[in-house]
Each structure stands twice: as C-alpha cells, then as structure tokens.
C-alpha cells in the first residue's frame, strides 16, 4: 500500500509542477489596438441587490460604445430584478426575458449569443465587478486569429476571517491550476465569471442542449473548443482582466456551491480533466486514510507527516506566484492550515455531490 501511496503523491507533485511551469510560461502581452464589436452576456436571476452595482461597473468600461453591447438575460426572476433593469438608462443595454418553459444559465447564454451583434462574446456573472479596461484587455487577445477562447482571472473581494480567507485561497488554487494547464497546452477548466470567445466558435461547438448538468456553461464549452482547436485557448494573465466576485457568506452556502461544482464533473469527457479530478481526489483520500490509521498506529503518523509535507510544498510551489499576481500575498499564511482540513473537506464534498441535491438560484437540482 505504501508504494501505491508514494506513487500517487509523486504523480500529484508532477502534475502541480506542470501547472507551475505552465503558469510561468504565460506572459503578459502588450495590448494591441483591436476593437471589434463585442457583446457582454450575463444571465440574471433574483439579483435585485446586485443590479445597480453591476450596471455601474459596466458603464465604466473604456471601449467604444458603438462597438459594445451589454446583454442581460432575465431568467424568470421573482424579485424586483426585472423592474430595476427596465429603469436603467444605457444606450447599449439589451434586456432579454427568458420565455416560459425555458430556464437556466446555459439556455440564457445560448439565447443571448444567438442574437448578439458582437463577434466577440464576453461572459460573466451578475455578482461580479470589472476593471474599466476589462473588455479591451480580454478582446485584445483575439487580434490573434488563432485564439478562439480566452479564460480570464477571477478573485474574491478581500474579506476578513478564517472562512473567507480559506475560501479565497482554494479559489486561487483553482484559477492557478486552470491557467497553468492552459499554459501547458492542455486546458482542463476555466471559470464562467470571466471568459470570452468568438461568437462563430460558440455556434459551431456549443453543445449545451445535450448537457444534462445544470451548470458547466464554462467548462463544457472549454472542452468543446479544446477538442477542435486545442491551440486556440489562452489565459489572460493581466491585472486589467481580473474580475472580482463575492465569496459565499455561509458554510451551508459554501458546501452547496461546491456540491454543484463537483456534480458537473460526472459529465466530463475530456481525459485530462478526468485524470486530474481523480488524481486530486485520490491524493486527498490518502491524507484522510493516513490520518485515520495514525489514530490506531503511530507508525502511520510518520507516513502522514511525510505525505503532508510533500503535498504542502507542491501546493506552495504553485500558489505563491498565483497569490502574487492577484495581490493576495496576505493569504500565504493560510496555506499551511488550509492543508490540514482540505483533504477531509474535499472527500466529503465529492460524496455529497453524488448523493444529495443542491440549490442554485432558488431552484433545487439533482446531481
């Protein structure tokens, strides 16, 4: 058994090292004067507390108004979201209401893209904030005709407290791993809060109607693009491209969100993503097993400490430059305690994601 454990940990070290190399390979490119017609697409459901802030941050975009449209899709909101949207005075804003019998973020995005006038689509979420140069920075990557999809960086607003800090740290590790994989030419995932793609590519490869997972508008599209245009995916490693969002405020909401994220992995068809998912799971299962065995035999405590040290160093190797990029070096002190609970937490989330339902935007969904 120990040889198997050592082999899995070695594979984990190798994988994380590849992501670090991939992260370092991504350079900040000089921005070009490239201003094609672009459309920002955001699905909205029951976001009355976010509408004014969202519109305000979108109005600050430094991009020719005649070449930029904002499409906000109302997904059957039951609060005052629609009324607030209809009060907005913005010449390049389009509001679309989902028809009866059609709902969900994937359908909302598909409907918006089909009517979008922009050749470049920028997708995000209602609870996000953007730098004034966000659109220009993301769009500039498409000056290279080979680029079909751009994954952008996402981070959480700075908030005090252990819960928010550990949550932000985990999120940074996910963004960093996804970026590193893109840098190595083998994309595995991205985040729907910040991504851009050519409209023609979406219409060509989008397969949302056949995806049973309620979420995954980001990852499944990435995998479809990768299958046909593996060299056409880039990561926007530029501070002007950073999108900021809110972390989950309660532990219950956090678990519910992670269950939703994990549940969609059952629909993965990309082998690199499947391999990485299982490798991370098995590596953390090892931590739980060794910690459990050490309670009965102190010999296993030494093995657990060796495992813990190796995993900590691997994660530290990737996270330090990622945290530096996001200007979140304050989170570095949480990496060590993060390692202690992460193994138990991730194993629990995986189990729950395949056995329980989860809530999203006021709707209850099964796995």
* pLDDT per residue as tens digits for the range 101-119: 888 888 899 999 999 999 9
pLDDT band at 367; cut points 50, 70, 90: low
Check whether residue 250 and residue 333 sit in a common domain.
no
Tell me the two tokens of residue 193. Answer: 């809060």
Check whether residue 10 and residue 36 sit in a common domain.
no
Check whether residue 195 and residue 338 sit in a common domain.
no
pLDDT of residue 356: 57
Say if CB 232 and CB 149 are below 8 A apart: yes
Check whether residue 94 and residue 149 sit in a common domain.
yes
Among 57-61, 76-80, 353-357, which is the least confidently predicted range? 353-357
Alpha helix positions (H), the chain: 2-25, 51-59, 81-86, 105-115, 134-140, 162-183, 199-205, 219-228, 251-263, 271-294, 299-325, 335-353
* Section 142-150 average pLDDT: 95
272: exposed, middle or buried (C-beta count within 10 Å: 0-12, 13-18, 19+)? middle
CA dihedral 245, 249, 250, 254 (to 10 degrees): 10
Check whether residue 60 and residue 164 sit in a common domain.
yes
pLDDT of residue 364: 55
CA distances from 209 to 40, 213, 314 (A): 21, 10, 39
Among 267, 300, 326, which residue terminates a domain? 267
Sign for the CA dihedral angle at 355, 360, 364, 367 comes to negative
89: exposed, middle or buried (C-beta count within 10 Å: 0-12, 13-18, 19+)? exposed
pLDDT band at 352; cut points 50, 70, 90: confident
CA dihedral 47, 51, 53, 56 (to 10 degrees): 160
* Section 282-305 average pLDDT: 89
Give residue 55's Cα distance to chain centre: 22
Q: How many CB atoms lie within 10 A of CB 48?
A: 16
pLDDT band at 263; cut points 50, 70, 90: low
* pLDDT per residue as tens digits for the range 162-181: 888 888 999 999 999 999 99
Instruction: Assess whether pLDDT exceeds 80 at residue 214.
Output: no
pLDDT of residue 57: 94
Among 237, 267, 297, which residue terminates a domain? 267
Among 212-216, 253-257, 300-304, which is the least confidently predicted range? 212-216
Check whether residue 156 and residue 289 sit in a common domain.
no
Check whether residue 214 and residue 356 sit in a common domain.
no
Say if CB 262 and CB 349 are below 8 A apart: yes
Check whether residue 225 and residue 300 sit in a common domain.
no
Interacting residues of 212 by C-beta distance below 8 A, sequence separation 6+ = 267
Instruction: Assess whether pLDDT exceeds 70 at residue 131.
Output: yes
Among 239, 267, 295, which residue terminates a domain? 267
| Beta pairing class for 120-125 and 38-44 | parallel
* Section 196-222 average pLDDT: 79
* CA-based nearest residue to 280, from 198, 130, 207, 178: 178
Say if CB 107 and CB 206 are below 8 A apart: no
Instruction: Indicate the DSSP class of residue 41.
Output: E
Check whether residue 90 and residue 206 sit in a common domain.
yes
Number of domains, the chain: 2
* Section 339-363 average pLDDT: 70
Instruction: Indicate the DSSP class of residue 240.
Output: G
CATH code of the domain in which 261 resides: 3.90.550.10
pLDDT band at 365; cut points 50, 70, 90: very low
Of the chain, the percentage scoring pLDDT greater than 90 comes to: 63
Check whether residue 8 and residue 103 sit in a common domain.
no
Residue with the larger pLDDT of the pair 250 and 280: 280
Q: What is the mean pLDDT of the chain?
A: 88
Residues in the chain: 367
* CA-based nearest residue to 340, from 169, 161, 180, 174: 169
CA distances from 305 to 112, 281, 286, 300 (A): 51, 19, 12, 9
Instruction: Assess whether pLDDT exceeds 60 at residue 212.
Output: no
Check whether residue 134 and residue 200 sit in a common domain.
yes
pLDDT of residue 27: 87
Q: Residue 115 is part of which domain span?
A: 28-267
Residue with the larger pLDDT of the pair 57 and 360: 57
pLDDT of residue 161: 83
Instruction: Assess whether pLDDT exceeds 90 at residue 269.
Output: no
CA dist., res. 170 & res. 3, Å (int)? 29
Check whether residue 88 and residue 221 sit in a common domain.
yes
Taking the whole predicted model, whether its pTM rises above 0.85 is answered as yes
């Amino acid at each position: 058994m120990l040889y198997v454990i050592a082999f899995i940990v070695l594979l984990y070290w190798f994988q994380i090292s590849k992501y670090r190399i991939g992260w370092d390979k991504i350079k900040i490119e000089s921005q070009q004067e490239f201003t094609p017609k672009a459309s920002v697409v955001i699905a909205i459901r029951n976001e009355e507390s976010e509408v004014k802030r969202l519109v305000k941050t979108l109005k600050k975009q430094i991009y020719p108004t005649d070449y930029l449209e904002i499409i906000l899709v109302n997904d059957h909101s039951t609060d005052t979201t629609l009324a607030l949207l209809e009060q907005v005075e913005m010449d390049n804003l389009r509001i679309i209401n989902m028809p009866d019998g059609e709902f969900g973020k994937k359908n909302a995005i598909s409907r918006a893209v089909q009517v979008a006038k922009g050749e470049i689509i920028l997708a995000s979420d209602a609870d996000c904030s953007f730098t004034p140069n966000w659109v220009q920075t993301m769009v500039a990557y498409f000056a290279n005709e080979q680029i079909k999809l751009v994954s952008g960086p996402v981070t959480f607003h700075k908030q005090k407290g252990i819960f928010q800090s550990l949550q932000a740290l985990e999120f940074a590790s996910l963004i960093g791993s996804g970026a590193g994989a893109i840098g190595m030419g083998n994309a595995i995932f991205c985040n729907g809060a910040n991504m851009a793609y050519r409209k023609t590519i979406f219409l060509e490869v989008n397969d949302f109607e056949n995806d049973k997972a309620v979420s995954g508008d980001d990852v499944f599209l990435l995998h479809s693009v990768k299958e046909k245009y593996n060299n056409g995916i880039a990561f926007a490693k530029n501070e002007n491209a950073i999108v900021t969002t809110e972390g989950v405020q309660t532990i219950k909401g956090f678990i519910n969100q992670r269950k939703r994220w994990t549940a969609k992995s059952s629909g993965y068809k990309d082998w690199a993503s499947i391999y990485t998912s299982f490798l991370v799971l098995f590596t953390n299962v090892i931590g739980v097993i060794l910690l459990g065995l050490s309670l009965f035999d102190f010999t296993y405590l030494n093995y657990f400490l060796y495992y813990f040290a190796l995993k900590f160093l691997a994660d530290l190797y990737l996270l330090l430059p990622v945290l530096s990029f996001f200007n979140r070096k304050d989170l570095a002190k949480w990496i060590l305690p993060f390692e202690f609970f992460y193994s138990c937490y991730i194993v629990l989330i995986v189990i729950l994601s395949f056995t329980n339902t989860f809530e999203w935007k006021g709707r209850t969904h099964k796995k």
